[in-house]
Structure 1
Amino acid sequence: MPKHLTFLPVLALSAAISTAALADSGPNAETVVASVNGEEITLGHVIMAGATLPEQYRQVPADVLYNAVLDQLIQQTALVQSRDGDVPVAVELSLENERRSLLAADAIETAMADVGSEEELRAAYDAKYADGTGGTEFNASHILVESKEDADAVKAELDGGADFAETAKAKSTGPSGPNGGELGWFSDGQMVPEFQEAVSALEVGQVSEPIQTQFGWHVIILNDKRDKEAPELEAVANELLAELRQNALEDRIEELTSKANIERPVIEGLKPEMIKDLGLIGN
């Protein structure tokens, strides 16, 4: 166990600590467990410091962890007290950002706290799988080349009657080329958006126009498509809960920002590159 621990910023309070109420009797968050020149360190400080540690530190025995965290808080307090003068600008700005982040994280938890009842999950499930299927699966093959010119040439060959699989074996630069360009079955979201959009627009047996993705230029043929069987609610409950909470959060943020008086003035000389210029902070 290292003598000096490294604390990490808290990104979401609820992920680190329990929200259970403290007992009415016995030690609580306000119990003073140490003081340095009269400055108090409470059990609450220790708990929150421990809650933000990396997972490997939380595996050590509680007595070792408690004493190590308390020792570090004492050392940090003594170091802070040794400082002369004002808080450095960089530290003050970091503290303001950290406070903003913590309070925003708590607001996020509040916005999502009451979302995801059994009724809401059932309604979300029924809406998503109303037709009794789990969406469409596609079976496609493609020919991947480096340039649009190459893709246009491949498309012209196919339009002239060339066999797709044989052309893929000869021309495709992708790993599926030796297999005739076959990609097997896949669902919405498993391919990059440009590719998925092109596939979804095809009829079975139809060959696409050349389309570009981050990997290069593709010519695609849709071999087949089918409806997936709808999953059981229990199998997708966590996915639906995440979607409900994300939607609730986005709605809350939209509500707040739409009502807020937000100003983003045009500032002469301000450039995006300045985000990397720590020299602007000063001491």
Structure 2
Amino acid sequence: MPNFITHLSAAAVAVTLALPAVAQDDAPTADTVVATVGGTDITLGHMLMVRAGLPEQYQQLPPDVLWTGILDQLVQQEALSQSDDATETKRVTIALENERRALLASEAVAAAASQDLSDAAIQEAYDAKYANAEMGKEFDASHILVETEEEAQAVVAELEGGADFAAVAKEKSTGPSGPNGGSLGWFGAGMMVAPFQEAVEGMEVGTISAPVQTQFGWHVIKLNDTRTAEAPPLDEVREELTAELRDARLKEYIDGLVAEADVSRTEPGSIDASVLNQLDLLEE
């Protein structure tokens, strides 16, 4: 969401002043007036909203520097907004309406998303996703990666002649797994590029493939073993499940609100969509 202020002035950052004492007996609140411009109050709440929306590079500045910079800009903006040159055009009015709508919607989303999810709900989601799911097969494979098909064919011939796969991989493979004897460890479906994955899935344990081409070069693959994949422990996927449940509940909540609201829309095609390019309409 865009912020009205996106940077502090260089002068404000350069000058460090002590925080002004608030002339009240009670602790300051969001309604505490920090300045008045032409009869219009600027409050601590206004400053806090600007502070909350500052870019990351300003987040670590000392409070006294931030105070001076933020208050200076709010005073300047209020003075400008009261000037004869400041008119509330259609563009400004519509932007304010959009901003208010978005802020209120964000408040509603935050409130809905803050509702706690019970352990029972998370367990139910886990069971639904993993208890009876076919987790598929995992593969333990090694490979030797070379640049050309001719080199790959020579590697296959060498292996068929009895050469040790790991030793050849250490000597000739250009891939990062070469020093480890070409070992890729365990991986599941879809974790390797398609030609490599397809070749592995069609192999028998202990066999060596014909040369396989991918965008990385030519591979000679050995399938060391296979196993049935197991469901991950609940704690390992708890955050993922929680996020999925929150998203699902939020979508249900929003869909319900829209369904209950009295909504009418223009018929599809009744307005030429290219009108979205006519930004000059905001100047009317």
Q: What TM-score comes out, normalization by structure 1 length?
A: 0.59
SS in 2 for 1:229: coil
RMSD: 4.1
2:135 paired residue number: 135
1:266 paired residue number: 267
1:104 paired residue number: 105
1:93 paired residue number: 94
Question: Superposed, which structure 2 residues align to 1:27-46 within 5 Å?
Answer: 27-46=28-47
Cα distance between partner residues in 1 of 2:192 and 2:123:
28
Question: Using a 3 Å threshold, how does the CA distance of structure 1 residues 5 and 100 change in structure 2: closer, same or farther?
Answer: closer
Cα distance between partner residues in 2 of 1:45 and 1:55:
19
- 1:62 CA drift (Å): 1.6
1:120-167 C-alpha deviation (Å, 9 max, x unpaired): 323322332224x7933566xxxxxxxxxxxxxxxxxxxxxxxxx99x
Question: Using a 3 Å threshold, how does the CA distance of structure 1 residues 229 and 268 change in structure 2: closer, same or farther?
Answer: closer
1:114 paired residue number: 115
Question: Using a 3 Å threshold, how does the CA distance of structure 1 residues 281 and 251 change in structure 2: closer, same or farther?
Answer: same
User: What code does the residue aligned with 2:53 have?
Assistant: T
1:54-73 C-alpha deviation (Å, 9 max, x unpaired): 12211111221122111111
Question: Superposed, which structure 2 residues align to 1:1-283 within 5 Å?
Answer: 6=6, 25-84=26-85, 86-131=87-132, 135-136=135-136, 185-187=187-189, 205=202, 227-266=228-267, 270-283=271-284
CA contact (8 A) 2:135 2:228 kept: yes
- 1:267 CA drift (Å): 8.0
User: What code does the residue aligned with 1:80 have?
Assistant: S
- 1:225 CA drift (Å): 7.5
CA contact (8 A) 1:28 1:44 kept: yes
Question: Using a 3 Å threshold, how does the CA distance of structure 1 residues 54 and 244 change in structure 2: closer, same or farther?
Answer: same
- 1:226 CA drift (Å): 5.1
SS in 1 for 2:79: helix
User: What code does the residue aligned with 2:273 have?
Assistant: P
Cα distance between partner residues in 2 of 1:226 and 1:44:
60
- 1:33 CA drift (Å): 1.1
CA contact (8 A) 1:46 1:70 kept: yes
Q: What TM-score comes out, normalization by structure 2 length?
A: 0.59
Cα distance between partner residues in 2 of 1:232 and 1:90:
53
- 1:276 CA drift (Å): 2.0
- 1:83 CA drift (Å): 3.7
Q: Give the share of equivalent positions with the same residue, in percent.
A: 42
SS in 1 for 2:131: coil
Aligned length: 207
- 1:45 CA drift (Å): 0.8
Cα distance between partner residues in 2 of 1:267 and 1:130:
44
The gaps in structure 2 that reach 5 residues or longer are 8-25, 140-151, 154-185, 204-222
Cα distance between partner residues in 2 of 1:31 and 1:65:
17
- 1:78 CA drift (Å): 0.7
Moved over 4 A (4+): 223-226
Q: Indicate the structure (1 or 2) with the bigger Cα radius of gyration.
A: 2
Which range moves more in the overlay, 29-38 or 109-118? 109-118
